[in-house]
Structure 1
Amino acid sequence: MKASIFGLCFFIIGALSASAQTKAEQDVINLSKEKWQWMADKNVDKLATLFDAKSMFVHMGGSWGKEQELNVIKSGNIWYKKAEVYSATVNMIGNTAILLNDIDLVAVVGGNEVVNPFMVTEVYVNENGKWTMGSLTFSKLMRPVKLK
């Protein structure tokens, strides 16, 4: 009898922590979706609050920090027109979320529209109940573009 109650307690605790993790993961996925829309809309005010002061951005053409990323978006040097997200997975490590997005990105770079398949790694940190982005990295995939 004691073993059954003990087992039930562990099951309930496990279920509660799994649902809390699932909520955190879903919050990060939702935030990422909003971020893609803010990037498409060139909404640098929203992005400025999302990007941590020490955040880093890695692109095919270079890497830089928050201010340069915001300037690139604001100026239209890179216009993230549309990110078609095919999958999003999140791994939680403490208060850090690592999100992987398999996407096709429609962007305007140097006045030319391009479509590339990417695995995008986004790192978010939760401090005082607020998620901020610490890193965004684009890794070009070998698969063909899926977007029609």
Structure 2
Amino acid sequence: MKKLVFGLFLVLSGIQISVAQSATDKEIIQLSKDKWQWMADKNVGLLDSLFHEKSMFVHMGGSWGKQRELDVIKSGGIWYKKADVHEVSVNIMDNTAILLNRIDLLAVVGGNEVTNPFMVTEVYVKENGTWKLGSLSFTKLLTPGN
């Protein structure tokens, strides 16, 4: 009987852990979705509060910090019009979350509308109970015909 109760306890504990992890995964995935929309809307106010002060951004044309990314978005230097997200995965490690998105990004860059397939790596860090984006990196994917 003790083994049965102990086994049931372990199963229920495992369910609680997976539910908590699943809730955090969902929170990070929703935050990423919101970020794509805020980028499309050029909502630098919300992005400013999401981006960590020491955040870094890696693009096909270079890398830079938070202020330059906000300036690029505000000016329309890169207009993230629409991110079609095809796959999402999240790994949580203590106060760090790594989210991978496979996307097709419709953007306007230098006045030209372009669509590129990317694997996007987003790193979030939890500080004072709030998730902040620490890094956003775009890796262009090679697809048949490219």
Classify the TM-score, shorter chain: over 0.9
Could you say which residue in structure 2 is the equivalent of 1:60?
60
Distance 1:8 1:54 in 2: 45
Could you say which residue in structure 1 is the equivalent of 2:41?
41
Which secondary structure state, in structure 1, belongs to the residue aligned with residue 19 of structure 2?
A: helix
Moved more, 8-17 or 49-58: 8-17
> What is the number of residues matched between the two proteins?
145
Scaled by the length of structure 2, what TM-score is found?
A: 0.97
The 1:74/1:94 distance shift into structure 2, 3 A limit, reads same
Matching of residues 1-148 of structure 1 within 5 Å: 1-143=1-143
Scaled by the length of structure 1, what TM-score is found?
A: 0.95
* Pairwise CA distance, 1:2: 1.0
Distance 2:124 2:11 in 1: 29
Which secondary structure state, in structure 1, belongs to the residue aligned with residue 142 of structure 2?
A: coil
Task: Report the residue type matching 2:86 in the other structure.
Answer: Y
* Pairwise CA distance, 1:129: 1.9
- Runs of 4+ off more than 6 Å: none
Q: Where do 5+ consecutive residues of structure 2 fail to align? A: none
Cα deviation 1:31-55 (Å, max 9, x = unaligned): 1000000000000000000000000
Distance 1:135 1:23 in 2: 22
Cα deviation 1:10-51 (Å, max 9, x = unaligned): 111111011000000000000100000000000000000000
Moved more, 69-78 or 136-145: 136-145
Cα deviation 1:86-112 (Å, max 9, x = unaligned): 111101111111000000000000110
Contact 1:117 1:144 in 2 (8 A): no
RMSD of the TM alignment (CA)? 1.1
Q: Where do 5+ consecutive residues of structure 1 fail to align? A: none
